[in-house]
Chains A and B, each alone.
Chain A
């Protein structure tokens, strides 16, 4: 069975601090996808990134970066120079990669989420 663990329930930082959100996953699949979603106060889930299990390259997008390490089954997310607008709940998720449609068309297993509060 698949499982995603986000050990940090809540994190509070001061603006401009760097913050890392941890994500550890379990799966028996050799091919899978990992995701991060952001849920701002408005409620919708906003896609941030998708990574497949064969691509361990770290990724940077502006102030966001992701560190994927298969050896430790982790997919951590770092926000550099945090801003108040980064305050949200962040979810890590895992999907199988079965079916002809590919991994993005399969059900997601989510972690419990990490509530990030960035204070001015």
Chain B
């Protein structure tokens, strides 16, 4: 089974530009999460989709961040306009809606965003 795929793996943009990150979850996984790790700090929750619905977006830092999951498949996270403090690694994770396993989420490899 293919894992969680994120792209791009790296992105360098200038302050004020727009960037869109994409996450393809494991097929059939209804739960999709976005997390972010700013340099040297902990990984922080951004939001959670169940299918196409936002279940919890309490971690979204501000209205410059927009996440979508049209059709309940892949998800995008857009940052517009990007600021220097948005630099970090953005992780996506997915899981089955009612998993009975003990494996928690499956994380992607992350997108390293650098805003200069």
* Chain A contact residues, CB within 8 Å of chain B: 4, 33, 35, 37, 42-47, 50, 91, 93, 100-102, 104-105, 107-113
A3 nearest CB neighbor, chain B only: B42
The smallest beta-carbon distance between B4 and chain A, in angstroms, is 8
- Do A109 and B89 have beta carbons less than 8 Å apart? no
Q: How many residues in B have their beta carbons less than 8 Å from beta carbons of A?
A: 33
**A45 proximity list for chain B (CB < 8 A):** 43, 91, 93, 107, 110
The smallest beta-carbon distance between A88 and chain B, in angstroms, is 13
- Do A44 and B110 have beta carbons less than 8 Å apart? yes
- Do B109 and A47 have beta carbons less than 8 Å apart? no
29 A-B pairs, CB-CB below 8 angstroms?
A: A35-B104, A37-B107, A42-B109, A43-B112, A45-B43, A46-B107, A47-B104, A47-B105, A47-B107, A91-B43, A93-B43, A101-B97, A101-B98, A102-B98, A102-B99, A104-B99, A104-B101, A104-B105, A105-B96, A105-B97, A107-B45, A107-B56, A107-B59, A108-B43, A108-B105, A110-B43, A110-B44, A112-B41, A112-B42
In the bound complex, what is the Cα–Cα distance between A78 and B91 (angstroms)? 26
B101 nearest CB neighbor, chain A only: A104
Interface centre among A35, A44, A100, A105 (most CB of B within 10 A): A105
Which label, helix, strand, loop or mixed, suits the secondary structure of the B interface?
loop
**A43 proximity list for chain B (CB < 8 A):** 9, 89, 109-110, 112
